[in-house]
Structure 1
Amino acid sequence: MLSDRTVPAFPFGLPVLLAEAGLVKHNVTKVRLEDVNENLEALARDDTVGRQVIVFEGTA
């Protein structure tokens, strides 16, 4: 477990420690260009978790 004493004295200390400990999970969703509007609406409804990356034809 992490304690206050292990957090470096810089602004992003805790997130860096959590990432190094493998406790930060990421979620990246590939979105086809044709589906951007639908996914933007989902983002506005707060139905999206993580990042969405637009991919173009042939890269999804």
Structure 2
Amino acid sequence: MNDPSEEKFPQLIEEATVPWWIGIMSGMVDIFGKHPYIFIAIFVPFVFFLKWIGEIK
């Protein structure tokens, strides 16, 4: 029989390797993709925030 924990293993690896903010960035691209100035106005402060909290270097 298959162990139920084995079925969740790929999802656990994805959650461990993909940063939490990738989904936020993807959503911002979807929403503001046609309006680059609005996207940049939100993206740049978000990147500085990520640097400030230590998520990116």
TM-score by length of structure 2 reads 0.22
Larger helix proportion, structure 1 or 2? 2
By relative contact order (CA 8 Å, sep 6+), the higher-ranking structure is 1
TM-score by length of 1: 0.22
